[in-house]
Amino acid sequence: MRKLPMVLLATAALPMAVNAANTEFSFGGFIKMDAMLSTYSDGDIVDGYGRDYYAPSQIVPGTEPDTAELDFSARNSRFNFKTVTQVEDGKTITSFIELDFSTTAGGNEVVSNSYVPRLRHAYVQYDKLLVGQTWSNFMNVGALPEVADFIGPSESTVFIRQPQVRYTSGDLSVSLENPQTTGAGDSGDNGMLPDLTASYKIKADNLDMTAALLLRQLSYDGPLDGDDATTMGYGVNVAGKLMVGKDDLKFSATYGKGVGRYVGLGAVADVALVGEDLEASDTTAAFVAYRHHWSSQWRSTAVYGMLSADYDDSVTTGVTDATSMRVNIMHSPVKQLTYGAELSTANVERVGGADATMNRVYFTTKYAF
């Protein structure tokens, strides 16, 4: 992040300088340009975000012939703004807000390629208490591998941002997070209880990892009185990084019942309505990524990811298995600038056994400021 000295703020807006004498302002983000040449075994992906990055739910078996598409995009670029204020009790208040343009409407490739900004993060933290929207406490951001694709092995990754209230004491964090149940009703059913997460950081020699727990009340709001149903869901995740000399091995493993919204970009439904009862789906997901440094400027990462889901026998749709592999080469002539190329392949199977594949060559340029 770039920091703004108070003298510059004073020249731009004197009232802000007066009211924020103990506040440090900074901004950051990156410009990212991507080019993707993709082949699909069962016809094009129509939805925009499935064309921008690998999303298992967007790879759907069909009857169309193999197709190839070339896409260019800069919409994953982002901007953030941060303040850190020293207060009277010797503690600090930190605020953070970040926007990007991914997965939003408002643009087209005919003339302008303009896209609507979207909210990524918006939170305030005072001492040990964080309130607002940011990464779920069930997720270890430090375990994400370096890839050209926006997420990489998304089928096997815990990846979610949402509103929450989080308390951190040392290596232990506990949070109450936004509840949402997918798979029954309108996928907008929130129960009476927030999702509860807890994570614990573990550091030993070259290992840096977290162990996380998720407890959820899954709910369905029926159209008639007496149709409502609830059940409990849970999940466990272990994720982290192991240093191997200058190289690193990143990993994540997740298992749970009713954790579909947290893993694989929602590829697996949390629950199914079976008669008058809710049945939580089983999800197992894992990835491993090894990054090797060829030199101070060149490095490569190889990644394998998998997801397996099990539903009630009455379920007739949904992703049951997904796997992906990718390998890349990254070049940073200076620290802030990276050029990259990546080759990936993915296969997604659905209930009934039908499957579809995607192969993609990905080129990226990223400047972080």
Would residue 20 count as lying in a domain? no
Q: How far apart are CA 151 and CA 162, in angstroms?
A: 17
pLDDT score for 348: 95
The verdict on residue 157 lying in a domain is: yes
User: Residue 183's pLDDT is what?
Assistant: 86
pLDDT at 327 over 90: yes
Which pLDDT tens digit goes with each residue over 228-282?
888 999 999 999 999 999 999 999 999 999 999 999 999 999 999 888 889 999 9
pLDDT category at 47 given cuts 50, 70, 90 is low
Q: Where on the phi/psi map is residue 106: left (φ > 0), alpha (ψ -120 to 50), or beta? A: left
- 156, part of any domain: yes
Q: Can you give the CATH number for the domain in which 196 is found?
A: 2.40.160.10
The larger pLDDT score, comparing residue 110 to residue 293, is at 293
* Rounded-to-integer distance, Cα 248 and Cα 182, Å: 35
Q: In this structure, what are the phi and psi dihedrals at residue 283, rounded to the nearest 5 degrees? A: -135, 130
Domain annotation covers residue 21: no
Average pLDDT on 46-55 reads: 79
What does the pLDDT look like over 173-216, one tens digit per residue?
A: 999 999 999 987 655 566 789 999 999 999 999 999 999 999 99
Question: What domain range is 136 assigned to?
Answer: 2-11+26-368
Residue 296 covered by a domain: yes
Q: Is residue 17 assigned to a domain?
A: no
- Contacts by 59-63 with C-beta closer than 8 Å and gap 24+? 59/346, 59/348, 59/356, 59/357, 59/358, 60/348, 60/350, 60/356, 61/350, 61/354, 61/355, 61/356, 62/356
Tell me if 243 is assigned to some domain. yes
pLDDT value for 11: 42
Number of domains the chain is built from = 1
Closest CA to 253 of 140, 135, 177: 140
pLDDT in tens, 287-319: 999 999 999 999 999 999 999 999 998 888 889
Rounded to whole angstroms, the Cα distance separating 356 from 350 reads: 9
Residue 287 lies in a domain: yes
